[in-house]
Structure 1
Amino acid sequence: MQKHIKLPHIDAFGYYQFLTFRTNDSVDAYVFKLLDNNDLKNSHKQYKVDEYLDNSQNGAYLNDIVLEYMFDFIKMQNNVLYEIISFVVMPNHVHILFKQMQPMAKTIKVLKAKSAKDINVLLKKSGKFWASGYYDKVIRDEEHFTKVYNYIQNNAQKAGLNEDRFYSIYERS
């Protein structure tokens, strides 16, 4: 049995990154169990978590006006934090493919802190909105880029969501 260690987040300026972050209320005991499973590769863990969250209503706040807000907010950071390629806003998590322009810690802080404050106002909520941590992966090559892009593009449809939750520089949104 091979043990997998948690890798540090990597700043790779000028390279493409795949980023995922989740609502705090979406992370339940099952998600923690998956994330703590040291028998799975980190990428496989993340895939299983995303698959579970695609079918979970836990923390599913990213709908309607909040969905619109996140679309605008993520696009507003284009050419400030990153060069956006594509993203999908699922009901309880977000995937973004971008070329890194700022340190990942700064990117995450801006994305999560400002949006959490604004979303809590929109929802008339208070407290922690986004879960601690995030998943990021430097894109290795063109094949990996295509795989991640297709995953983001098809995520909402695969989860049976009818709303347009996908954005890409390659398609009209």
Structure 2
Amino acid sequence: MSGNLFHIDQKNTVQFVTFRTHESVAYYLKKHNKKIIESTSKQQHQLDQFLDTSRAGAILNNETIPLLISLFKSKDKIEYNLFAVSIMPNHVHLLFQQLKPLSLIMHNVKGSSAFIINKYSSESGKLWEKSYYDKAIRTEKQFQMTYQYIKNNAYKAELEDANKRFYGVYESE
């Protein structure tokens, strides 16, 4: 995956961010004979659809789910204002309003989550793919659609523990 994706980075911007386990992306690239995934919405959507059913890099399960949700909640009001998170087996979706630079938020989120997961699983090594996909949310309609996507992602993938994989603080009126 390209490490040079363009990121909109502005304080108070609402961001939809997806980051994936390194193994899941490596498997996808190998299976589809690709060297780099462009950051177009269509290609990101295709990758998300693939990862929703793929077992490659699917290590975000069981006790790691509440650990990660707790970690993301602990950064609320410090690094971002958290609206929603979905922990899929091999990727994470976050919806938040930036309070700090996006690169710093992602460095801290990925670093601290890797530390927690590696400690819990007694593993070491690279956990997350270097890059991440982000999309600035510009309208209320786009926010609502994104929130619902994150909220329903685990159900759409028919995960047995879907109800444990989502945390959200916003509901439409």
- TM-score norm. by structure 2 comes to 0.88
Following superposition, the deviation at residue 7 of structure 1 comes to 5.0
Does residue 79 (structure 1) correspond to residue 89 (structure 2)? The answer is no
Following superposition, the deviation at residue 35 of structure 1 comes to 7.6
Question: Which stretch has the larger CA shift, 28-37 or 126-135?
Answer: 28-37
Q: Deviations over 1:116-155 (max 9, x none)?
A: 1121111111101111100011002112111111110110
Hey, what does 1:107 align to over in structure 2?
Answer: 105
Cα distance in 2 between the residues matched to 1:7 and 1:24:
16
Show structure 1 runs of 4+ deviating over 6 A.
none
Following superposition, the deviation at residue 44 of structure 1 comes to 1.1
- TM-score norm. by structure 1 comes to 0.88
Cα distance in 1 between the residues matched to 2:115 and 2:64:
12
Cα distance in 1 between the residues matched to 2:48 and 2:101:
25
8 Å Cα contact 1:35/1:45 also seen in 2: no
Question: Which stretch has the larger CA shift, 136-145 or 28-37?
Answer: 28-37
Matches within 5 A, 1:3-42: 8-31=6-29, 33=32, 36=36, 42=40
Judged with a 3 Å threshold, the aligned counterparts in structure 2 of structure 1 residues 52 and 102 are, in CA distance, closer, same or farther, namely same
Following superposition, the deviation at residue 37 of structure 1 comes to 5.6
Amino acid at match of 1:67: I
In structure 1, runs of 5+ residues without a counterpart are 1-5
8 Å Cα contact 1:31/1:49 also seen in 2: no
8 Å Cα contact 1:22/1:130 also seen in 2: yes
Does residue 161 (structure 1) correspond to residue 152 (structure 2)? The answer is no
Hey, what does 1:3 align to over in structure 2?
Answer: none
In structure 2, runs of 5+ residues without a counterpart are none
Identity, % of aligned pairs?
40
Q: Deviations over 1:83-111 (max 9, x none)?
A: 00111000110001111101011101100
8 Å Cα contact 1:83/1:100 also seen in 2: yes
Hey, what does 1:44 align to over in structure 2?
Answer: 42
Hey, what does 1:55 align to over in structure 2?
Answer: 53
Instruction: Indicate the RMSD between aligned Cα atoms, in angstroms.
Output: 1.8
8 Å Cα contact 2:27/2:56 also seen in 1: no
8 Å Cα contact 1:83/1:99 also seen in 2: yes
Hey, what does 1:147 align to over in structure 2?
Answer: 145
8 Å Cα contact 2:9/2:102 also seen in 1: yes
Cα distance in 2 between the residues matched to 1:45 and 1:35:
13
Judged with a 3 Å threshold, the aligned counterparts in structure 2 of structure 1 residues 127 and 16 are, in CA distance, closer, same or farther, namely same
8 Å Cα contact 1:24/1:131 also seen in 2: yes
Following superposition, the deviation at residue 31 of structure 1 comes to 3.8
SS at match of 1:95: strand
